[in-house]
Structure 1
Amino acid sequence: MALCKTSLKTVLIDLSGTLHIENTITAGAIEALNKLRDTNVRVKFVTNTTKESRRCLHERLTDLGFAIRPDEIWSSLWVARDVVASRGLRPLLLVDDAAVEDFAGARSEGEHDSVVVGLAPDKFNYAQLNKAFRVLLSGAPLIAIHEGRYYKRLDGLALGPGPFVRALEYATGCKAEVVGKPSAAFFESALGGFRPEEAVMIGDDVKDDVDGAQRVGIRGILVKTGKYREGDEAKISPAPSQVCADFAQAVAVLLEELQ
Structure 2
Amino acid sequence: MAINAVFLDLSGVLYEGDKIIAGAVDVVQTVRRRSLPVRFVTNTATKSREQILNKLAELGIDVPPHELFTAPDAALAYLQQNDLTPYALVHDSIAPMFADGDSEPDCVVLGDARARLNYASLNRAFQLLMQGKPLIGIGDNRYFSDGEQLLLDAGPFIHALGYAADTEPVIMGKPNKAFFREVLATVDVPAAECLMVGDDIYGDIEGALNAGLQALLVRTGKYQPGDESRLSFPVHAVDSIVDVVSVL
With structure 1 as the length reference, what TM-score do the two structures score?
Answer: 0.91
Contact 1:53–1:101 (Cα < 8 Å) also in 2: no
Tell me the CA shift for residue 102 of structure 1. 3.3
For 1:99, the aligned partner's letter is I
For 2:167, the aligned partner's letter is C
Deviation larger for 143-152 or 65-74: 65-74
Taking only the aligned residue pairs, the percentage that are identical comes to 37
For 1:176, the aligned partner's letter is P
Cα distance in 2 for residues equivalent to 1:52 and 1:153: 14
For 2:145, the aligned partner's letter is K
Tell me the CA shift for residue 140 of structure 1. 0.3
Cα distance in 2 for residues equivalent to 1:225 and 1:84: 34
Which deviations, in whole Å up to 9, do the C-alpha atoms of 1:17-70 show, x marking residues without a partner? Answer: 110112111111111111111102100011111111111111111112112112
Contact 1:200–1:220 (Cα < 8 Å) also in 2: yes
Q: What RMSD in Å do the two structures reach over aligned CA positions? A: 1.3
Aligned partner (choices 234, 238, 244) of residue 250 of structure 1: 244
Aligned residue runs from structure 1 range 1-259, under 5 A: 3=1, 7-103=2-98, 107-192=100-185, 193-240=188-235, 242-254=236-248
For 2:119, the aligned partner's letter is Y
5+ long unaligned stretches in structure 1 = 255-259
With structure 2 as the length reference, what TM-score do the two structures score?
Answer: 0.95
5+ long unaligned stretches in structure 2 = none
Cα distance in 2 for residues equivalent to 1:231 and 1:65: 32
User: Secondary structure of 1:238's partner?
Assistant: coil
Cα distance in 2 for residues equivalent to 1:125 and 1:143: 18
User: Secondary structure of 2:157's partner?
Assistant: helix
Tell me the CA shift for residue 252 of structure 1. 3.0
For 1:19, the aligned partner's letter is L
Contact 1:90–1:109 (Cα < 8 Å) also in 2: no
